């Protein structure tokens, strides 16, 4: 936890919990580090679906080339939050209305998901207009003899290699003259470490440069690993960046693009709350927190224990003895009436937890609030705090600015 976040969580009133606390200074520093490790010739786009909060999008603006969006809603939202930034429009099932809106506002790239979509797009581009496209391919890739979880399997995403061939043939026809093929897009796996990501990127590039038409650019997608079991670990951007540099030297003139989401923003967000109850049930101990997976669904969807830090609170306002986790571990749950509302199962960090103690979950900056089912059971929404630090150069003072917003409900 950063100092700014720890301080903020300590000073929140009980009534202000649960709260999402974002450290925008830490986000900027992390994104700048990622950018600095990538060679010139590699564009960095942020996949907005990981966390589209406007403050997050603008904090990333200096480090990223642009943003990848996957719906008309994300497109309109990103345009409002970072008006001048290039936007790539991907994702399956684009509607004719979304395509028309994207042509209207102007996107830097369309990632075409199917032959039908290519036809829709071609028929929607008006006279005198052009649209720049990448064909999204679902390429079979094996790593160490193991097939990737997404690439090469039946899926609604992208085109089979034979489908790419058919699209290339269509693109040679006069009806498609307003579409400008820039290259290939692929997003084949998530959770890969730097060596595996690089191997996948190499495989995509080697396949793309052998197509019967020249390609200027290849977007190798996102999916860089975030290790929820080890919150201090980071994807090895230096190794990945130098590997991409070698790949570019083998293909002079090629432009590469990557579009990470999770590995950019997971580290800048925390979900802070407090313990409401501690109990023993059939031999196991449970700590019940204010809030739960309707705010932070990540551990339920990924099936992991969300890492957390305990900030003990010694005040105890009641005349009866304070309950506490007495054993070595406990399961940490939320307030929902479903056995799936588990944030961490049987974990040692829960030892000693008491009602009133504060608990701060890390790695809650991506696929957290925005993928959660906020209104299930009608609990209040959390507050949102965006901390920002500026060093005032004349005085050397660190100013922490904070914009707070209370969630709706
Ligand atoms: C979700 C997605 C990403 C980002 O994936 P992360 O695992 O968050 O890095 C990038 N590209 C596409 C096409 C996606 O669908």
Residue 261 Cα, ligand 1 centroid: separation in angstroms? 6
Fold of 3-20+267-405: Lyase, Ornithine Decarboxylase; Chain A, domain 1 (2.40.37)
Enter the tokens of residue 70: 């996957």
Told to judge if 337 belongs to the known catalytic residues of this protein, a careful annotator would answer: yes
Beta strands 179-185 and 131-136: pairing type? Answer: parallel
Matching fold, domains 3-20+267-405 and 38-260: no
Determine the residue of 60, 68, 200, 237 to mutate for testing ligand 1's pocket, defined as the one with the most ligand atoms within 8 A of the Cβ atom.
68
Contact 368, 19 (CB under 8 A): no
| pLDDT tens-digit profile, the chain (409 residues) | 999 999 999 999 999 999 999 999 999 999 999 999 999 999 999 999 999 999 999 999 999 999 999 999 999 999 999 999 999 999 999 999 999 999 999 999 999 999 999 999 999 999 999 999 999 999 998 887 677 777 888 999 999 999 999 999 999 999 999 999 999 999 999 999 999 999 999 999 999 999 999 999 999 999 999 999 999 999 999 999 999 999 999 999 999 999 999 999 999 999 999 999 999 999 999 999 999 999 999 999 999 999 999 999 999 999 999 999 999 999 999 999 999 999 999 999 999 999 999 999 999 999 999 999 999 999 999 999 999 976 555 555 555 666 666 665 5
* CATH architecture entry for 38-260: Alpha-Beta Barrel (3.20)
Helix residue ranges per DSSP H, 61-213: 72-81, 96-105, 115-124, 161-171, 194-208
pLDDT for the residue numbered 399: 56
E strands, 140-253, where? Answer: 142-143, 146-147, 179-185, 217-219
Domain boundaries, the chain: 3-20+267-405, 38-260
Please choose, from the candidates 43, 48, 80, the residue with its C-alpha nearest in 3D space to the C-alpha of residue 63: 43
Residue 276 Cα, ligand 1 centroid: separation in angstroms? 36
Residue 23 Cα, ligand 1 centroid: separation in angstroms? 22
Q: What is the pLDDT of residues 327-362, one digit of tens each?
A: 999 999 999 999 999 999 999 999 999 999 999 999
């Amino acid at each position: 936890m950063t100092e700014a976040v720890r301080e903020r969580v300590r000073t929140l009133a009980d009534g202000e919990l649960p709260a999402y606390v974002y450290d925008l200074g830490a986000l900027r520093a992390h994104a700048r580090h990622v950018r600095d490790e990538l060679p010139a010739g590699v564009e960095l786009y942020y996949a907005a679906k990981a966390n589209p909060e406007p403050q997050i999008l603008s904090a990333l603006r200096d480090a990223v080339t642009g943003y990848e969006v996957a719906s008309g809603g994300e497109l309109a939202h990103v345009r409002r939050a970072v008006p001048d930034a290039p936007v790539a429009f991907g994702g399956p099932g684009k509607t004719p209305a979304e395509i028309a809106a994207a042509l209207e506002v102007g996107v830097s790239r369309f990632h075409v998901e199917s032959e039908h979509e290519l036809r829709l797009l071609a028929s929607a581009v008006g006279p005198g207009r052009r649209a720049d496209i990448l064909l999204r391919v679902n390429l079979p890739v094996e790593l160490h003899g193991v097939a990737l979880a997404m690439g090469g399997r039946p899926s609604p995403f992208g085109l089979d290699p034979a489908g790419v061939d058919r699209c290339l043939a269509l693109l040679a026809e006069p009806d498609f003259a307003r579409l400008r093929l820039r290259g290939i897009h692929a997003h084949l796996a998530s959770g890969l470490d730097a060596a595996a990501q690089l191997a996948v990127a190499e495989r995509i590039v080697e396949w793309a440069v052998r197509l019967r038409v020249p390609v200027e650019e290849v977007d190798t997608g996102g999916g860089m690993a975030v290790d929820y079991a080890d919150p201090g670990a980071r994807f090895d951007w230096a190794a990945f960046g130098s590997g991409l540099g070698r790949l570019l030297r083998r293909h002079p003139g090629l432009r590469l693009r990557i579009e990470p989401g999770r590995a950019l923003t997971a580290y800048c967000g925390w979900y802070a709350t407090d313990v409401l109850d501690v109990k023993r049930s059939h031999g196991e101990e449970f700590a019940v927190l204010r809030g739960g997976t309707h705010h932070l669904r990540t551990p339920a969807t990924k099936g992991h224990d969300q890492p957390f830090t305990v900030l003990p609170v010694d005040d105890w306002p009641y005349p009866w003895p304070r309950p506490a986790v007495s054993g070595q571990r406990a399961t940490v749950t939320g307030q929902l009436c479903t056995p799936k509302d588990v944030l961490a199962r049987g974990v040692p960090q829960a030892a000693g937890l008491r009602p009133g103690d504060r608990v701060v979950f890390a790695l809650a900056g991506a696929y957290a609030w925005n993928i959660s089912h906020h209104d299930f059971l009608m609990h209040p929404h959390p507050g949102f705090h965006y901390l920002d630090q500026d060093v005032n150069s004349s005085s050397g003072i660190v100013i922490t600015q904070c914009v707070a917003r209370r969630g709706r409900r």
